[in-house]
Amino acid sequence: MDYKRRNLLKGLALAPIALGTQSLFSNTPSTSKLSTSSRVKYSVNAFTFNDMLRNGEMDFFDMMDFASDIGLDAVDLTCYYFEGYPKATIDSKMLFKLKKKALALGLDITWTGVRNNFVKPDETSRANDMQMIKDWLKVSSKLGAAVMRVFAGKGRYTGYSKDQVKEWMVAHFKECAKYAEETGVITALQHHNDFLYDADEVIDILKRVNSEWFGLILDIGSLRRGNPYEEIEKLAPFANYWFVKELVYVKGVSEPVNMKKIANILIKNNYKGYISFESLTEGDPKEIVTTMFNDFKTNYSQLKSTSKY
């Protein structure tokens, strides 16, 4: 995937959610006409509120209220909090209520995500996951999301080499990309510290799939070998969406994220798109996300005001 494709995908992700696929393309400026100045918008991922969403303390409507209250621009509505998941049987009326709520609050619904596993040697299992992805791409399109997250997967693959797993994984991702184009929702790989551990491995998969409808969600908390900031630097030119978490891992050891370093990488790469915050540590997730959001904005604004990019 080259820079031109990455910029096209980010342009699509920022298009109004009410537009259909044809309108998305007709209203997306060419890369030569894009502003040279980086521009970011902010979201929060539903997994931040995993416990609250599971026990009924919060629902997606409450999550939208929170996002609006602290000044975010969007929400990521992970599919496994929808009733019936993994089956895509959610009532269309509920999807439209969510869209209406987002509109009323001035929010975008940028992202959905499923939990697939393309590492498993069992072909039937992978085929079932592929069908699940197709079904939820339809739901995501109806919801108005621009991106749907997929995983590589995890687990044992006894009797096969890692290269063999990558071969069938790439074939599945190509199928994802083909169906993504039909539904108008980009499928994007979130490397998840499961099977693809290094930036070079992730980039290799992106290049082999080689589709503008298959992108990358850069997860700063899932690069746990060596220097995470160096790994993030490698992935940054390919990123269509960013997950910013409160921790990074230096040679496998966790430490608080340096928001200044993250903001600097984004600015250097002239990133235009969404940054989504996700909290995975103990504590009040609302307070943690609010702190991360304010910390990032402060560092980003300070660096941007003096940047040559």
What was the pLDDT predicted at 38?
A: 64
Sign of CA dihedral 171, 224, 244, 81: positive
What was the pLDDT predicted at 37?
A: 58
**Helix or strand holding residue 148 (H, E):** strand 147-150
What was the pLDDT predicted at 112?
A: 98
Question: Structural domains in the chain?
Answer: 3-304 (3.20.20.150)
What was the pLDDT predicted at 308?
A: 77
Number of DSSP helices (H) and strands (E) in the chain, helices first: 11, 10
Opening angle at CA 74, ends 194 and 92, nearest 5? 85
Residue 199, Cβ neighbours under 10 Å: how many? 22
Global confidence as pTM: 0.87
Q: Quick one: tokens of 77?
A: 């509505």
| pLDDT per residue as tens, the chain (309 positions) | 454 445 444 444 444 333 333 333 233 333 333 344 568 999 999 999 999 999 999 999 999 999 999 999 999 999 999 999 999 999 999 999 999 999 999 999 999 999 999 999 999 999 999 999 999 999 999 999 999 999 999 999 999 999 999 999 999 999 999 999 999 999 999 999 999 999 999 999 999 999 999 999 999 999 999 999 999 999 999 999 999 999 999 999 999 999 999 999 999 999 999 999 999 999 999 999 999 999 999 999 999 988 876
Phi then psi dihedrals of residue 241, to 5 deg? -160, 145
The pairing of strands 186-190 and 147-150 is parallel
Strand ordering across the sheet containing 186-190? 39-44, 272-278, 241-245, 214-219, 186-190, 147-150, 108-113, 74-76
What was the pLDDT predicted at 95?
A: 97
Distance CA 230, CA 220 (A): 11
